[in-house]
Amino acid sequence: MKRNISSITVLMVLLMLPIISFAQLTTAPNGGNKKASVSEQIGVSKISIDYSRPGVKGREGKIWGTQIAHYGLVNLGFGPAESSPWRAGANENTVITFQNDAKVEGKDLAAGSYGLHMILGETETTVVFSKNYSAWGSFFYMPSEDALRVTVQNETLAMSVEWLTYSFIRQTANSAVIALDWEKRRIPFKVEVDINATQLASFKKELQGPLGFDHKGFVQAAQYCLQNNYELEQALKWAEIAVSAVYIGEKNFTTLSTKAQVLEKLGRMDESKMVMKEALPMGSINEIHMYGRQLLMQKKVKEAFEVFEMNYKNDPKSFMTNFGFARAYSAKGDFKKAEKYMKNAVNLAPDKPSKDQSEAMLHMVKDKKDIN
């Protein structure tokens, strides 16, 4: 019996030898290069770069235009590629991923992952986005797999960068410049995203999930369109869902006032006024106050005065209604009345910051200065 067990044990060990022989422990990347990733979000659109970072390692002045980072297209002597660009990093493909469609240097590039390569030159570089992003380096580069090429001007850095680095610089609300920095050279290319289009696409997707079972999500989406004056017909659809959709629709100040504002933006003034008339009695003191402030910012002084007056009549002993009514009279240029209601606000202030603000504004109306 013992002999049989021993035989079985030896057999199992022998069977496992190939597995043990080929198994490898985790080690650092080849050649002492560092692995890295960097990402940035433009609006709701994420752009990420995964790459390996070669070091200068004392080779200043011997990087660009050499075997390390060759100029033009060359035969690397391995793989099917006869003319290869630089791998724009080290080891595997440098991979850039766009969550949404984008523009690179003004040219369209579809959402997805791309192998990033560069055709280097002394003063300019052609940045290549390849549909093949799983190859090793540029050994398997094929021009037929190009998704996009853009040519950019190289820049000179004041100080040497030891480890090749990608970063997002010169950012705006809808764009960023992606910069490759290594040794004393920078290779920059600009990426742009249509933030309104990507935001709406995100809303539509999210509203098909759990967030679509609550009117608040539809209000938020409609208000985004309002604030950005974008896709107002879609905003109206969302606002109507928030007001009247089966199970989730709700008539309250927020849903109705949002719908009214969309209708106004669309030029449907009579409908807007009817919906707003329905909304106002449902509003809290603070909601109506903020609506009045909004009207003042739109220079609609007459309409704002009516809103602040209604709010005051509903609760004449409230700090907020007196504060708002003072704003309304100030906007009309009636500083005497503004002073009267601001004095009330000072006396009714619920806390020191509110009292300090009211007293400061009281001094302004006494000096006949508009507080809006």
Tens of pLDDT, residue by residue over 212-229, are 999 999 999 999 999 999
CA distance 10 to 39: 51
Whether 28 shows a pLDDT value over 90: the answer reads no
Which one-letter amino acid corresponds to residue 336? K
Same domain, 166 and 35: yes
Same domain, 67 and 177: yes
CA distance 358 to 340: 12
Pairing of strands 124-130, 146-153: antiparallel
* Residue finishing a domain among 242, 264, 283: 283
* Residue finishing a domain among 145, 162, 193: 193
Residues belonging to the chain:
372
| Residues β-bridged to residue 55 | 163
Q: Could you tell me where the DSSP H helices lie in the chain? A: 2-22, 195-206, 215-228, 232-244, 253-265, 269-279, 285-297, 301-314, 319-332, 335-348, 352-366
Same domain, 70 and 219: no
Residue 258 burial by Cβ neighbours in a 10 Å radius (0-12, 13-18, 19+): buried
Cα 67 to its chain centre, rounded Å, is 39
For residue 18, what pLDDT is reported?
52
Six-digit token string for 57: 């390692």
Whether 136 shows a pLDDT value over 90: the answer reads no
For residue 81, what pLDDT is reported?
78
Within a domain: 304: no
Q: Is the dihedral of CA 291, 297, 303, 308 positive or negative?
A: positive
Six-digit token string for 155: 């820049």
Residues spanned by the domain of 233: 195-283
Same domain, 35 and 58: yes
Within a domain: 24: no
Provide the Cα torsion 312, 318, 323, 326; round to 10°. Answer: 40
pLDDT band, very low/low/confident/very high, at 23 (cuts 50, 70, 90)? low
Whether 10 shows a pLDDT value over 70: the answer reads no
Within a domain: 110: yes
CATH number at residue 267: 1.25.40
Within a domain: 369: no
Within a domain: 291: no
Six-digit token string for 254: 């927020």
Same domain, 53 and 131: yes
Same domain, 127 and 231: no
- Please give the tally of structural domains in the chain: 2
Within a domain: 4: no
Same domain, 164 and 51: yes
Same domain, 62 and 188: yes
Flag whether the pTM goes above 0.95. Answer: no
For residue 11, what pLDDT is reported?
47
Six-digit token string for 173: 């609300």
What is the maximum span of the chain, computed from C-alpha positions, in angstroms?
Answer: 111
Average pLDDT, the chain: 91
Whether 13 shows a pLDDT value over 60: the answer reads no
Same domain, 174 and 223: no
Same domain, 120 and 216: no
Q: Is the dihedral of CA 104, 109, 115, 118 positive or negative?
A: negative
Same domain, 80 and 206: no
Percentage of the chain beyond pLDDT 70 is: 91
